[in-house]
Structure 1
Amino acid sequence: MYEVIGSPTSRAFRVVWMLEELGLPYTLSPEKPHSEVVSALNPSGKIPILKDGDAAIIDSTAILTYLADKHGALTFPAGTIERAHQDSFTQQILDEVEAGLWTASRHNFILPEDRKVPAVKETLMWEYSRGLKNVLRRRQGTYLMGEEMTVPDIILTHCATWAKFEGFPTDNEELLGYIKVTRGRDAFQKLLPKKK
């Protein structure tokens, strides 16, 4: 049984979604960044953390890659050309899409007041839109790598949700069609709050 440590509204959502896709049992321990529990396992105080027995794995992308490789799903095999392209998508998303979102979040609610630069958001939104177009231009089918979902699809879909929260542009028609598919997956739908 895996343990996911972190808030489900953070990058921990990626890990929980991956575990649902894999059909694996897990527990979710909601913890905020820099809590005593988190800081004991990750000196930077960041979430999520995956506990696999006594081992603690940090960084959502490292966790996703570990789970995909360990369970042989949502990934191409290491050492293949397809895996190189998959990893290229992952790195491009982190660099050109997520980086701007993370910087915006830091300037919104993480940095000390005297370090926040609200005016940077306009540039970050421009970079995000440009980076998103670059990623989607490489898309090879229903999903980024073709007709099978892989690790970078989880990251990009999560970034699209994050972008909406940050007030970034959400009108990219190709992205909207893409996330309709990724968010429509049973594993994703299972994680949405139940409407009463």
Structure 2
Amino acid sequence: MITVWGGQTSRSIRVVWVLEEMGLPYRVRQVDMLAAKQDPEFLAVNPADYIPAIQDGDVVMVESIAIMEYLMARYGPTPLAPAPQDPTFPAYQQFLHLGEAGLATLMMPVVVSRFIAPDAERENWGATWCLQSFQKRLKLVSQRLADSSYLAGEAFTAADISVTYALNLGQRNCGITLGDAEQAYLARTTGRDAYKRAMERSHEGVNT
């Protein structure tokens, strides 16, 4: 049984979504990242104290994209990950990693500035720069969606899971305004049954 350590609106949704798409058994353990004292059992898994993390037998991993790649390679093959020989593979790889390295990571200084920082430090230069950079990199997504329904082509892949999280984060917590093409794209990705199940499981933290 795979254990996912995560939170209700965290990057762990990417992991749970992959698990649901692949039909793999798992359980969710909720982690409160704002708790004054963290769960020792979780810290034994990830002493760096961030989510998501997974336990899969003797395997312990952190970092949402790495976990996604592990699950698809370990329990695949799966349509979520095109083969290296597939013409869609380069775009898949680019957007799989852009969703975190190029988009979601930029939103963290904005989130902590707006919701955690002292009032006088909330509108800081770094957060403003991150917002501007997000908007620039969002153009890569917009350009791709002008030519295809999904980021690797006409088929849904893990790249869409990665980027959907980032777009939702930017829209929900950082005041990012998405265009019609991006909104239609999110309607397609979040309309999937596996996404809906993943959201339910991530909020409930129940066992399979």
TM-score using structure 1 length:
0.85
Unpaired segments ≥5 residues, structure 1: none
In the TM superposition, what are the counterparts of 1:1-196 in structure 2 within 5 Å? 1-33=1-33, 34-70=38-74, 71-73=76-78, 74-78=80-84, 82-109=88-115, 113=118, 116-120=121-125, 121-139=127-145, 141-192=148-199
Shift of 1:174: 1.5
Shift of 1:167: 3.2
Give the % identical residues: 28
Please report the RMSD computed on the Cα atoms of aligned residues, expressed in angstroms: 2.5
Unpaired segments ≥5 residues, structure 2: 201-208
Contact 1:32-1:47 within 8 A present in 2 as well:
no
**Aligned partner of residue 169 in structure 1, secondary structure:** coil
Shift of 1:42: 1.6
Distance in 2 (alpha carbons) for counterparts of 1:95 and 1:54: 28
Contact 2:5-2:28 within 8 A present in 1 as well:
yes
More divergent stretch after superposition (182-191 vs 164-173):
164-173
Distance in 1 (alpha carbons) for counterparts of 2:85 and 2:39: 38
TM-score using structure 2 length:
0.81
Tell me the residue number matched to 2:205: none
Shift of 1:147: 1.9
Distance in 1 (alpha carbons) for counterparts of 2:177 and 2:190: 15
Distance in 1 (alpha carbons) for counterparts of 2:171 and 2:134: 12
**Aligned partner of residue 149 in structure 2, secondary structure:** coil
Shift of 1:170: 2.5
More divergent stretch after superposition (116-125 vs 164-173):
116-125
Aligned residues: 193
Shift of 1:85: 3.3
**Aligned partner of residue 60 in structure 2, secondary structure:** strand
**Aligned partner of residue 27 in structure 1, secondary structure:** strand
Distance in 1 (alpha carbons) for counterparts of 2:164 and 2:95: 13
CA distance 1:43–1:115, shift in 2 (3 Å): farther
Shift of 1:4: 0.5
Shift of 1:114: 9.7
More divergent stretch after superposition (62-71 vs 90-99):
90-99
